[in-house]
Chain A
Amino acid sequence: MHDHPKPGRAVRIGIGGPVGCGKTALVAALCRALRDELSVAVVTNDIYTTEDADFLRREAVLDAERIVAVRTGCCPHTAIRDDVTANLDAVEDLVERFDPDLVLVESGGDNLTATFSYGLIDRQIFVVDTAGGDDVPRKGGPGVAGADLLVINKVDLGPLVGADTERMAADAAAVRDGKPTALVSVRTAPIPEVVDWVRAQVRVPA
């Protein structure tokens, strides 16, 4: 386990997962849920556009200048793990400007092995898509097995694609060594368990 975030500075939470699993939707939901109680900023790592950042700005989940996009040179996993330079620069600039309580770093959509370096973030959430195949949690891998929180998203689509979400949860539990998993549908329902988990990672001075 990694050290608990140091008091008195922004807690950084990485949000990773395959393309289209709902990372940006989750970031938007977290911003909406937490922006009134916490100072929040966001870094996005789109693969070749500023699409995610544009979406978040359009949705006005935060002031536009609290959302920045970095370019990752075709290598989203390098930018969050092996050479986190561009992301560190972006996070440090946000911290200097806004002194936020929470910085969310959304990775570019990648594969099941793409996890964040703890040199960049303090905690990471890995998101998988129910419609992406209910065998994904069983396959495990660094994201599913190692993330501090696993979010199985789009459970509303389970019946439509014949995915057994209960089995997904059980398979995840088998590889996650007691770490939490949340089954959610970010687009269609509130996500109190994820919001509470994030809140618990952030220590706000009384």
Chain B
Amino acid sequence: MTLVVAPELWLLADSRLPTGGHAHSGGIEAAVRRGLVTGPDDVAAWLAGRVPTAGLVTAAAAAAACALVTVPVERRAPSVDLLGHGRPSPDPRPSPATWRGAPTGGSTERGGPSLESGDGDVDWARWDAAISARTPVAALRDVSRQQGRAMLRTVRAAWPHAPVDGLGARPHQALVLGVATRAAGGTPHDAAALAVHHLTGQVCSAAVRLLGLDPLALAGVHARALAAHGPVVGTAAEAGTAAAAARDPDLLPTATTPWPEVLAVLHARSEGALFAS
């Protein structure tokens, strides 16, 4: 069997893709500032707590979003309004009828998928709400939406055909990642793997900057975390795919680690933090 990876997927795995990730620490700054994380082993332990829990939820949601985009979408040349700075591009995006990803439901949080329109058959608002329900603290829901908004901008520039319009202005990042993975030719398993890779990468690179750790040692931590948590990716991909097939976001896994959630709240309120989260 030949394993084929869509070349564009590497872009989504590259930390140089400008999606604002460099300003987030995956929660580790709050732990570092309290002396709870001081070296590479602590970083590995942090990931061992976070990847199978919050990481699993995010990865499964990304996999589901990827699986939910079922109709191949028409490709179009990029029409990025580089100096328009986010003004709507005059070039029309694919009409919602060309893909199954239009919004049909409502979200209670600011910026999620809206209630209007019901052309497609993916009710993104329910998926968005399911992620919110699995993200206990408001601070992290907000961080997820900040990163979702940022990733939307990047996806629109890199994959103008990606059916992201139904996601709202500030969707959870996992949904954007899933749709983007699909647009780049990837699978739900790829989406789950990317979600875990982003979490581990954010934590490891922030740890280098915050603690002056050896970047080579942290590259080792990153690689071992990806290897060790391969089963998390598999579980997430299966759960997300099953939830998408059943059109039932309630089937997404539920897991978290309370202490990092509490730290995230303290971080959001703190003065003098280097990272946005």
Contact A85 B153 (CB under 8 A): yes
Give the chain B neighbours of A89 by CB distance below 8 A. 20, 146, 149-150
Give the chain A neighbours of B86 by CB distance below 8 A. 88, 92
Inter-chain contact count A-B, CB under 8 Å? 77
CA distance A88 to B275 in the complex (A): 17
Contact B150 A48 (CB under 8 A): no
- B residues contacting the other copy or chain, number (CB 8 A): 29
Chain A: interface secondary structure?
Answer: loop
Contact B274 A48 (CB under 8 A): yes
Which A residue sits closest to B25, measured CB to CB? A73
Question: CB within 8 A of B87: which of A3, A9, A73, A83?
Answer: A9
Chain B: interface secondary structure?
Answer: loop
Question: CB within 8 A of B83: which of A49, A88, A122?
Answer: A122
A111 within 8 A of B: no
CA distance A31 to B5 in the complex (A): 52
Give the chain A neighbours of B85 by CB distance below 8 A. 9, 12, 88, 91-92, 95
Please, what's the 1-or-0 string for B190-218, where 1 marks a CB less than 8 Å from any CB in chain A? 00000000000000001001100000000
Interface residues of A in 45-76 (CB under 8 A from B): 47-50, 70-75
Contact A71 B18 (CB under 8 A): no
Please, what's the 1-or-0 string for B51-90, where 1 marks a CB less than 8 Å from any CB in chain A? 0000000000000000000000000000000111111000
Contact A71 B83 (CB under 8 A): no
Apart from A12-B85, A73-B24, list 5 A-B contacts with CB within 8 A.
Answer: A6-B84, A48-B273, A83-B22, A86-B23, A89-B146
Query: Residues on A close to B: CB < 8 A?
Result: 2-3, 6, 9, 12, 47-50, 70-75, 78-79, 82-86, 88-89, 91-92, 95, 118-119, 122
